[in-house]
Amino acid sequence: MRKLLVTILGISALAVCRPGFCIPPATAEPPGSPPVSADVNPLLGLPPLPVPADNPQTPAKIQLGNKLFHDKRFSIDGTISCSSCHDDNKAFTDNLPVAVGHHGLTGTRNAPTVINAAFNKLQFWDGREPSLEAQSKAPFINPLEAGLPSHQPILDIVRSDADYRKAFNEVFGVQADKLTMEHVSKAIASFERSIIAGNSAFDRYYFKADKSALTEQQQRGFQLFLGQGRCVSCHVIEQDQALFTDGRFHNIGIGINAIQQDVPPLVQAFLEAKAHGGNVDQMVLSDKKTSELGRFAVTQSFNDMGAFKTPTLRNIALTAPYMHDGSLKTLKDVIIHYNNGGVTPAGAQVNAYLSGGIRPLNLTDSQIDDLDTFLEALTSAQFAKPTASAVIPGDSHDKH
Amino acid sequence: MTNINRSRRHFLKTGGMLALGSALPISLVELAFAEPSQNFSFAYISDAHIQHIKDARFVRNWDRGLIRAVAETNLLTPKPDFVIFGGDLAQLGSQAELDHGAEMLSALNHKVHHVMGEHDYYLDLGAYWQKLFGPQYYSFDHKGVHFIVLNSIRTYDDWTYKRWPTAEQRMVEMAGLDNPNSSPFMVGDEQRQWLKADLAKVAKTAPIVVFSHSPLQKIYKGWNFWTEDAEQIQALLKPFNKVSVIYGHVHQIQYNQIGNISFNSVMATAWPWPYPNTYAQAEQYLPKLTVPMNRADPFFERDATGWQFINLSNGNVDMNFTLYSNTERVVRFDKLKKQPQDRDYQAESSRIDPQRHY
Q: Closest Cα of chain A to B348: distance in Å?
A: 28
Nearest CA in chain A to B299: A357
Enumerate the β-bridge partners of residue B333. Answer: B340
Q: What pLDDT sits at residue B347? A: 66
Enumerate the β-bridge partners of residue A22. Answer: A17
Q: Which residues of A touch B24 (CB under 8 A)?
A: 271, 274-275, 300
Q: Under a CB-based contact definition with an 8 Å cutoff, are residues A164 and A158 in contact?
A: yes
- Domain ranges (residues) in chain A: 2-193, 201-250+311-379
Q: Under a CB-based contact definition with an 8 Å cutoff, are residues B247 and B265 in contact?
A: yes
Report how far residue A202's alpha carbon sits from residue A195's, in angstroms, rounded to the nearest whole number: 19
End-to-end CA distance of chain B: 38
Q: Closest Cα of chain A to B247: distance in Å?
A: 24
Work out the average pLDDT over A15-25: 42
Residue pLDDT, tens place only, B284-311: 454 443 344 445 677 788 888 888 988 8
Report how far residue A119's alpha carbon sits from residue A206's, in angstroms, rounded to the nearest whole number: 20
Within this chain, domains A2-193 and A201-250+311-379 share the same CATH topology? yes
Nearest CA in chain B to A270: B26
Q: How confident is the model at residue A274 (pLDDT cuts 50, 70, 90)?
A: confident
Contact A357 B70 (CB under 8 A): no
B22 touches chain A (CB under 8 A): yes
Q: Closest Cα of chain B to A209: distance in Å?
A: 28
Q: Which residues of B touch A275 (CB under 8 A)?
A: 24, 26-27
Residue pLDDT, tens place only, B150-191: 999 999 999 999 999 999 999 999 998 888 999 999 999 999
- Domain ranges (residues) in chain B: 38-345
Q: What pLDDT sits at residue B5? A: 34
Asked if residue A34 has pLDDT above 50, the reply is no
Contact A271 B25 (CB under 8 A): yes
Nearest CA in chain A to B75: A264
Q: Closest Cα of chain B to A114: distance in Å?
A: 28
Q: Closest Cα of chain B to A123: distance in Å?
A: 19
Structurally, what CATH architecture does the domain formed by B38-345 represent? 4-Layer Sandwich (3.60)
A349 touches chain B (CB under 8 A): no
Residue pLDDT, tens place only, A305-353: 999 999 999 999 999 999 999 999 999 999 999 999 999 999 999 999 9
Work out the average pLDDT over A143-149: 97
Contact B71 A263 (CB under 8 A): yes
Average predicted confidence (pLDDT) for chain A: 89
Q: How confident is the model at residue B312 (pLDDT cuts 50, 70, 90)?
A: confident
Percent of chain A whose predicted confidence (pLDDT) is above 70: 86
Nearest CA in chain A to B326: A303
Percent of chain A whose predicted confidence (pLDDT) is above 90: 82
| SS3 sequence of chain A | CHHHHHHHHHHHHHHHEECCEECCCCCCCCCCCCCCCCCCCCCCCCCCCCCCCCCCCCHHHHHHHHHHHCCCCCCCCCCCCHHHHCEHHHCCECCCCCCECHHHCECCCCCCCCCCHHHCCCECCCCCECCHHHHCCCHHHCCCCCCCCCCHHHHHHHHHCHHHHHHHHHHHCCCHHHCCHHHHHHHHHHHHHCCCCCCEHHHHHHCCCCHHHCCHHHHHHHHHHHCCCCHHHCCCECCCCECCCCCCEECCCCCHHHHHHHHHHHHHHHHHHHHCCCCHHHHHHHCHHHHCCECHHHHCCHHHCCEEECCCCCCHHHCCCECCCCCECCHHHHHHHHHCCCCCCCCCCCCCCCCCCCCCCCCCHHHHHHHHHHHHHHCEHHHCCCCCCCCCCCCCHHHC
Side-chain half-sphere of A318: how many Cα atoms within 13 Å? 28
Average predicted confidence (pLDDT) for chain B: 82
Amino acid identity for residue A132 in this structure: L
Percent of chain B whose predicted confidence (pLDDT) is above 70: 79
Q: What pLDDT sits at residue A139? A: 97
In A267-286, the residues whose Cβ lies within 8 Å of chain B are: 267-268, 271-272, 274-275
Q: What pLDDT sits at residue B118? A: 98
Q: Closest Cα of chain B to A315: distance in Å?
A: 26
Contact B299 A267 (CB under 8 A): no
Nearest to A353 by CA among B212, B186, B307, B71: B71
Q: What is the CATH number of domain A2-193?
A: 1.10.760.10
Edge-to-edge strand order for the sheet containing B316-323? B112-114, B83-85, B40-45, B306-313, B316-323, B329-334, B339-342
Q: Under a CB-based contact definition with an 8 Å cutoff, are residues A236 and A121 in contact?
A: no
Report how far residue A250's alpha carbon sits from residue A355's, in angstroms, rounded to the nearest whole number: 6
Contact A300 B21 (CB under 8 A): yes
Report how far residue A152's alpha carbon sits from residue A227's, in angstroms, rounded to the nearest whole number: 52
Asked if residue B34 has pLDDT above 50, the reply is no
Q: How confident is the model at residue B24 (pLDDT cuts 50, 70, 90)?
A: very low
Q: Which residues of B touch A353 (CB under 8 A)?
A: 68, 71-72
Which candidate from A272, A354, A360 shows the least CB-CB separation from B26? A272
Enumerate the β-bridge partners of residue B209. Answer: B147, B244
The answer to whether the complex's ipTM is over 0.95 is no
Contact B26 A227 (CB under 8 A): no
Q: Closest Cα of chain B to A317: distance in Å?
A: 26
Q: At what angle do helices A162-172 and A59-69 cross, to 10 degrees?
A: 140
Work out the average pLDDT over A89-109: 97
Q: What pLDDT sits at residue A344? A: 97
Q: Which residues of A touch B31 (CB under 8 A)?
A: none
Q: What pLDDT sits at residue B2? A: 33
Contact A356 B24 (CB under 8 A): no
Q: Closest Cα of chain A to B308: distance in Å?
A: 12
Q: Give whole-number Cα distances, A94 to A97, A199, A327, B155, B181, in Å.
A: 8, 23, 14, 68, 66
Nearest to B183 by CA among B214, B150, B210, B138: B214
Query: Between A and B, how many residue pairs show a Cβ–Cβ distance under 8 A?
Result: 74
DSSP state of B79: P
Enumerate the β-bridge partners of residue A249. Answer: A309
Q: Give whole-number Cα distances, B158 to A203, B120, B175, in Å.
A: 68, 20, 18
Q: What pLDDT sits at residue B350? A: 62
Nearest to B223 by CA among B232, B212, B231, B214: B214
Residue pLDDT, tens place only, A63-82: 999 999 999 999 999 999 99
Asked if residue A199 has pLDDT above 50, the reply is yes
B23 touches chain A (CB under 8 A): yes
Superfamily for A201-250+311-379?
Answer: Cytochrome c-like domain (1.10.760.10)
Prior bond of A345 cis (ω within 30°): yes
Q: Where are the alpha helices (DSSP H) in chain B?
A: 2-14, 25-34, 60-73, 95-105, 118-121, 127-133, 157, 167-175, 189-200, 230-237
Report how far residue A181's alpha carbon sits from residue B297's, in angstroms, rounded to the nearest whole number: 41
Report how far residue A155's alpha carbon sits from residue A180's, in angstroms, rounded to the nearest whole number: 7
Q: Give whole-number Cα distances, B90 to A301, B270, B351, in Å.
A: 29, 11, 34
Q: Under a CB-based contact definition with an 8 Å cutoff, are residues A80 and A154 in contact?
A: no
Nearest CA in chain B to A261: B71
Q: How confident is the model at residue A16 (pLDDT cuts 50, 70, 90)?
A: very low
Q: What pLDDT sits at residue B78? A: 75
B77 touches chain A (CB under 8 A): yes
**By CB neighbour count within 10 A (0-12 exposed, 13-18 middle, 19+ buried), where does A212 fall?**
exposed
Helix (H) or strand (E) holding B146: strand B145-149
B301 touches chain A (CB under 8 A): yes
pTM recorded for the entire structure:
0.85
Contact B21 A341 (CB under 8 A): no
B213: CB partners within 8 A, 6+ apart: B86, B87, B88, B115, B116, B117, B118, B151, B152, B153, B185, B247, B248, B249
